[in-house]
Amino acid sequence: MRYRKYIESDAWRSNPARLAELAASRGRCRLCSARASRGWRIEVHHATYRRLGRERRVDLIALCSCCHRDVETFLRRRRYARRVPLRRDVVRVHDFRRPLVDPTR
Ligand SMILES: [Zn+2]
């Protein structure tokens, strides 16, 4: 199952585990207690993708959009920290074959 397609689907929006987590959190971020009632966007984070599409509530965590972004960034950094950089990746980062030109000048 493709993650992006699933997250944008009605199946995810009406997922009983997702709705149960939102109800259990009472519209608050589990990390910072930001409230949906005060305008914060509350999202549901997958703590695991093991049961993607048939999640249990314990697989999910209600987070405000800021905490959700921070958690995803933390997890991504930890995941990539284990990777050994390859020479070809470094070349791509420092590819100066294309000159940096400011088109407004
Ligand atoms: Zn938060």
32 Cα to the center of ligand 1, angstroms: 4
**Is 15 inside a domain boundary?**
yes
Q: 47 pLDDT band (50/70/90 cuts)?
A: very high
**Is 104 inside a domain boundary?**
no
Distances (CA, A) of 80 to 50, 54, 74, 75, 76: 20, 28, 10, 9, 6
Q: From the DSSP assignment, how many helices (H) and strands (E) are in the chain?
A: 5, 2
pLDDT for the residue 17? 97
Q: Which amino acid, 53?
A: G
**Is 25 inside a domain boundary?**
yes
Tens-place pLDDT, residues 70-92: 999 999 999 888 888 777 776 66
29 Cα to the center of ligand 1, angstroms: 5
DSSP code at position 9: S
Three-class secondary structure of residue 40 per DSSP: coil
**Is 103 inside a domain boundary?**
no
Helix %, strand %, coil % for the chain, to 5?
45, 10, 45
Tens-place pLDDT, residues 21-42: 999 999 999 999 999 999 999 9
The total domain count for the chain is 1
CATH number at residue 11: 3.40.1800
CA 51 – CA 47 distance, rounded (Å):
10
**Is 105 inside a domain boundary?**
no
Give me the residues near ligand 1 (ion), CB cutoff below 5 Å.
29, 31-32, 34, 64, 67
70 Cα to the center of ligand 1, angstroms: 9
The whole domain housing 75 covers 3-93
